[in-house]
Amino acid sequence: MIKKLRLKNQEEILLALGTQDSKLRALEKNFKVTIFVAYNDDENGATLNIKGTNSRVDKAIAKIQKDLSLNEKKLADNLVKDTRPFVDNIIFRPEHGKPIASRSENQTVYIQSIFENDLVLSYGPAGTGKTFLACACALRAWELGLVKHIIVTRPIVEAGEKLGFLPGNIEEKVDPYLRPIYDAFYTMLGAEKFNTLKYNNILEIVPLAYMRGRTLENSFIILDEAQNTLPAQMKMFLTRMGIGSKMVINGDLSQIDLPVKDQSGLLHAKEVLKKVKNIAFVEFTAQDVVRHPLVKDIIDAYNKWDKKQKRTL
């Protein structure tokens, strides 16, 4: 006999069929049934036609429905956790050191946006806490059980020295580019816990080029220095998002190291995605700088200089 099971959207399709139909093949093998997939014309849902004996078909359907139900419950639970207020505005409490909290209005908006949206794009000058707070939010999300993995990546763009002329193997060559991220996690976790999370593949810090071909599920994914991506790289990164994942994209549009600055993937994504729902955009200014007080004055001075140069062109 044949029974039908309707899947409402792409998320349910992926949950039922698995990546590259891995779950579908497992269902057919375990329950000794044959499953045919008929996709809807609008490509936003599908119907499963499950063929086999009554009992086996019913068991296969029950298994799929159980997985879908568990996912709905998880999403509902996570929604409650996501939006609950932070006590005393604290995002993360390191084992050693001061609790981490927002220090400006924009930082508070940034943190809330991360926990209320699956994709956040932020841009603004150096020293505004974009990377550090994103890493803190990632650790908080992991503590709450919202994600299983934390993945942080950066494009490797040469500014000055060429990679080929630097000493060492590829890992030693890219390490300086990833060092600011290591520093952030070291500060919050300490060396021992940091190494434990890395060893257990809970925390992964990789160059952007290593992301191609992956689907990242149940992960908190941070793209840092996004102003130095090309549009094709940005699209590649954005399409890595899997079910149960969050993405935070950070960059400083005043520090584009690409040969042609107008080709920045972050600049391009701002325009392409501005009308897409459920994406948050957060812009930082010099007022949000939390480094040495001189940094804010330096940024202001450069901004005034740039405006003056544009007026004279």
Write out pLDDT tens, residues 162-194.
445 555 555 565 667 678 888 889 889 988 888
Taking the C-alpha atoms of residue 130 and residue 148, their distance in angstroms, rounded to an integer, is 22
- Given this model, what pLDDT does residue 87 score? 55
- Given this model, what pLDDT does residue 136 score? 93
Residues 254, 301, single domain; the answer is: yes
What is the residue-wise DSSP string for 98-144?
PPEE--SHHHHHHHHHHHH-SEEEEE--TTSSHHHHHHHHHHHHHHT
Alpha-carbon dihedral angle through residues 167, 168, 171, 176, given to the nearest 10 degrees:
-30
**Counting runs of H as helices and runs of E as strands, what totals does the chain give?**
9, 11
- Given this model, what pLDDT does residue 159 score? 43
- Given this model, what pLDDT does residue 213 score? 85
Write out pLDDT tens, residues 91-141.
888 877 788 888 888 998 999 999 889 999 999 988 888 999 999 999 999
Residues 121, 169, single domain; the answer is: yes
Taking the C-alpha atoms of residue 72 and residue 9, their distance in angstroms, rounded to an integer, is 13
Report how far apart, in Å, the C-alpha atoms of 307 and of each of 83, 126, 253, 285 are.
40, 18, 15, 15
Taking the C-alpha atoms of residue 52 and residue 57, their distance in angstroms, rounded to an integer, is 6
Of 212, 94, 233, 223, give the one whose Cα is nearest residue 152. Answer: 223
Other Cβ atoms within 10 Å of 199 Cβ, number: 9
Residues 202, 233, single domain; the answer is: yes
- Given this model, what pLDDT does residue 160 score? 39
Decide if 94 is inside a domain: no
Write out pLDDT tens, residues 256-285.
888 787 889 999 999 999 888 889 999 998
Of 81, 111, 132, the position where a domain reaches its end is: 81
How many structural domains comprise the chain? 2
Residues 131, 248, single domain; the answer is: yes
> Bridge partners of 204?
151
Taking the C-alpha atoms of residue 37 and residue 56, their distance in angstroms, rounded to an integer, is 18
Residues 67, 206, single domain; the answer is: no
Residues 150, 60, single domain; the answer is: no
Residues 53, 124, single domain; the answer is: no
Q: Percent of the chain scored above 70 by pLDDT?
A: 82
Residues 173, 245, single domain; the answer is: yes
Query: Is residue 311 over pLDDT 70?
Result: no
Residues 107, 235, single domain; the answer is: yes
Write out pLDDT tens, residues 20-44.
678 888 889 899 999 998 888 765 6
Question: What is the domain extent for residue 52?
Answer: 2-81
Residues 217, 179, single domain; the answer is: yes
- Given this model, what pLDDT does residue 14 score? 77
Residues 133, 257, single domain; the answer is: yes
Strands 100-101 and 90-92, by their bridges, are antiparallel
